[in-house]
Structure formats: structure tokens, C-alpha cells
């Protein structure tokens, strides 16, 4: 298969793929692809039909579907937010990518299901854990106590479909990915989060890490 290029839209820390003028949520945190359109725009296969009004309301933009890892894991990807393009290829050849590389491993979204959700290892507060690599999340979350040295920030609105909209207290924390280091903004998970099925989607003592984090800061003073 030749390399295919799609147009990306990065809006309010959410990542979308624009296909024939319609927006699809690009979501590596979801094991399923679904939408108002019956055909998968990536491979032409049928998808679960679902009204997207509620998700569109939370996002503040009209979307026609969500592309999950049941589709995305079949391809190699290069996401370039600077050029607003994504290249993907279904082959044994590796796509060329400038910059550093971070290895991923995969976990199952529920016990007894296939390991399809990507995770990466990060060190936060001196402790290394596996974090879900979730391109559908506008904010990163660390499940557990706020790390030592974290800098309090502001309250933010977020949502997760099983529990709806919620307000989270954010903070900045120094985060290490392999040899790279940066300050990232994290939200505090609501109490109802731990009672939901999301607990089955992370290893113990870990959290969630969004790739669309909105704080490319090098110090708490510069991060907001």
C-alpha cells in the first residue's frame, strides 16, 4: 500500500482527522471505531453506527465519528502537527520520522480482550509507570497522589463519556520520557473516575498521558 496522507485539525487540544470535509476524532485511547457514517474512511469496512451529538457537544465542534485502535493499529503513523498532516502506511516498511523515539507497549481495555491500547513509560515524581498514550485526551492525568514538586495551576473543564463533564484541579509536574524531560500539565482525576470501568484500562499505579498536552513548558513559570 502506498503512503496515504490525511489532513489533521488540532483544535482546543483535541486531534481530528479531516476526511472529505468531515471531522473524525483521532483516538488511540479507544479500542473501537464508530460514527454516524456506516463505512470506515480508512479501510472501507463497516463501523458501529452511533449518533455523535453528545460527543460533538462536549468537544464544541461537529464530528461524524471516532477512529479507534481497531483501525489505527493496522498502520504505521507519522503525525506532524506543524504541517497539519498525518502519513500512514500499511506495510512492513517503517515510515521515516525525524526526532527521538519512545517505545510503546499495549494493554487490554478490559480483562479477556486483546491488548490494543498503547502505553508508554514515563517517570513522574521520581516513580516510573506506564501511561496510556491517548490522543483523544486534551489533558494528561496521573492516577495517585500529586507528585512532590508539582506546581498548582488552574481549574479546567474536561469530560469522559461514562461520567460526563467535570472540573479538575490542574498542576504542572516534571516528567521524564526516556532521556527527555519537560514540564507537563496534569489534571486530578475525579473520585467517580476510579469507580468506573476506566480502572480496567490502566496498569496499577499508573495514569493517562495525552499526546495533545497543551503545555510545552520548560519550567513552571513558563507553563500555564
**Per-residue pLDDT, 170:** 93
Report angle CA 202, 142, 223 to the nearest 5 degrees: 145
Least confident residue range of 31-40, 56-65, 94-103, 199-208: 199-208
Q: Does residue 116 contact residue 36 with C-beta atoms inside 8 Å?
A: no
pTM of the shown model: 0.80
Q: Which domains does the chain have, with CATH numbers?
A: 4-89 (no CATH), 105-210 (2.40.70.10)
Angle at 175 between CA 172 and CA 177, to 5 degrees: 155
Tens of pLDDT, residue by residue over 76-93, are 887 877 788 777 766 556
pLDDT digits (tens, 9 = 90+) for 149-207: 999 999 999 988 888 889 999 999 999 887 788 899 999 888 777 555 443 333 322 34
DSSP secondary structure code for residue 71 in this structure: H
Amino acid at each position: 500500500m502506498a503512503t496515504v496522507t490525511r489532513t489533521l485539525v488540532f483544535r482546543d487540544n483535541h486531534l481530528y482527522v479531516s476526511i472529505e470535509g468531515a471531522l473524525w476524532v483521532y483516538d488511540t485511547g479507544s479500542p473501537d471505531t464508530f460514527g454516524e457514517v456506516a463505512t470506515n474512511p480508512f479501510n472501507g469496512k463497516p463501523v458501529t453506527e452511533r449518533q455523535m451529538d453528545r460527543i460533538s457537544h462536549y468537544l464544541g465542534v461537529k464530528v461524524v465519528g471516532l477512529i479507534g485502535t481497531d483501525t489505527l493499529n493496522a498502520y504505521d503513523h507519522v503525525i506532524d502537527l506543524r504541517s497539519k498532516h498525518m502519513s500512514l502506511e500499511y506495510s512492513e516498511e517503517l515510515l521515516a520520522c525525524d526526532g527521538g523515539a519512545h517505545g510503546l507497549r499495549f494493554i487490554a481495555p478490559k480483562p479477556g480482550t486483546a491488548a490494543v491500547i498503547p502505553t508508554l513509560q514515563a517517570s513522574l515524581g521520581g516513580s516510573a509507570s506506564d501511561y496510556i498514550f491517548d490522543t483523544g485526551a486534551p489533558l494528561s492525568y496521573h492516577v495517585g497522589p500529586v507528585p512532590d514538586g508539582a506546581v498548582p495551576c488552574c481549574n479546567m473543564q474536561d469530560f469522559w463519556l461514562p461520567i460526563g463533564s467535570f472540573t479538575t484541579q490542574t498542576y504542572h509536574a516534571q516528567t521524564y520520557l526516556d532521556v527527555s524531560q519537560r514540564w507537563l500539565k496534569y489534571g486530578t482525576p475525579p473520585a467517580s473516575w476510579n469507580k468506573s470501568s476506566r480502572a480496567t484500562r490502566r496498569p496499577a499505579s499508573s495514569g493517562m498521558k495525552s499526546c495533545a498536552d497543551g503545555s510545552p513548558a520548560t519550567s513552571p513559570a513558563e507553563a500555564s
